[in-house]
Chains A and B, each alone.
Chain A
Amino acid sequence: MSELAFEKGQQLPLQTFRVTRADLIRYAGASGDFNPIHWSERTAVGVGLPGVIAHGMYTMALAGRAATGWAGSADAVLDIQARFTRPVPVPDTDEGTEVEFTAVVKSVSEDGLVTFDLTAICAGEKVLAQARAMIKQI
């Protein structure tokens, strides 16, 4: 994907990431966020959630992967932001769930900085709002 020449209005290709319970456990350990709503069904249901949900920051980390994927370089992201609007429920199955990312290029600056708006969809619902990244082109 590193051959993309970005232009305003361009749709960036779909990137899909699978999320399982094991991913959330691993992320809890790596990030230090051990909030039990991300691993305990009992706790999650007890606070009114449909079940265990992904860390918002896990979904945002996937947005970061999508952004670096579109940029074609793992160190390209200069700015990334998102609002967490809906939870990403992760069922206790081998398949877990999927989050799908697409984006539209909002602007390309003269010095090669590309800003795009991301859309993140899980089970047909937008899970992030005002999700935006700025990357440098390689």
Chain B
Amino acid sequence: MPLDQSFVGRTYPPTEPYQVGREKIREFATAIGAEDALYHDVEAAQKAGYRDVVAPPTFPIILSFAAMEQIVTDPELGMDYSRVVHGDQRFAYRRPIVAGDELVVVSSIDDVTQRGGHDFLTTRAELATPAGEPVVTVWCKLVVRGHGE
């Protein structure tokens, strides 16, 4: 059954604040092979004007991926997650994420389309501080493969 267009615009409740840890940033940076001092060395980050180490560009996937659980398990939407493929991904920054940040994620459904027997679902995650300062917007397009192939 195709995904229902009427879900476009649906917004989910904010997640609990995520505390961005210095060691988590270092762990993520190490995992992607990024040795840049800004990701690892507090002193270097402070020299560059930051409070603490800075996260690599795709770090917010940790938060947005976890928050997307709300969407893919939404019983009303009824996605078959076993048929889901990651289509597109985008991160648009207001400022870099820094260790010590607390970030709340608000996920919503931006778009639902059908093409060639597949469903395309675009989700948007707004990552902001609990005080409401926007930090980064994360879009993710999921492809739900149809059964007719």
Chain A interface residues (CB < 8 Å from chain B): 17, 23, 26-27, 29-33, 56-58, 60-62, 64-65, 67-68, 73-75, 77-84, 130
Contact = CB atoms under 8 A, between A and B. Distances in A.
B100 interface: no
A120 to B, nearest CB: 13
A74 B36 CA distance: 6
7 contacts: A27-B32, A29-B31, A60-B58, A61-B32, A62-B32, A65-B34, A84-B88
B45 to A, nearest CB: 9
B57 A64 contact: yes
A74 B89 contact: no
A83 B30 contact: no
A23 B66 CA distance: 21
Nearest to A85: B87
A80 B57 contact: yes
Residue in B27, B30, B88 with the greatest tally of chain A CB atoms within 10 Å: B88
A75 B48 contact: yes
Given A74-B39, A75-B48, A80-B57, A30 B65 contact: no
Residue in A31, A33, A81, A84 with the greatest tally of chain B CB atoms within 10 Å: A31
B62 interface: yes
Interface string B1-34: 0000000000000000000000010011011111
A67 B91 CA distance: 13
B65 A33 contact: yes
B23 to A, nearest CB: 11
A55 B24 CA distance: 19
B54 interface: yes
B127 to A, nearest CB: 14
B66 A65 contact: no
Contacts of B62: 31-32
Contacts of B58: 57, 60-61, 64, 80
Nearest to A17: B33
B66 to A, nearest CB: 7
Given A64-B57, A75-B54, A80-B58, A26 B30 contact: yes
Contacts of A31: 28, 31, 61-62, 65
Given A23-B33, A31-B28, A61 B56 contact: yes
Nearest to A18: B33
Nearest to B25: A30
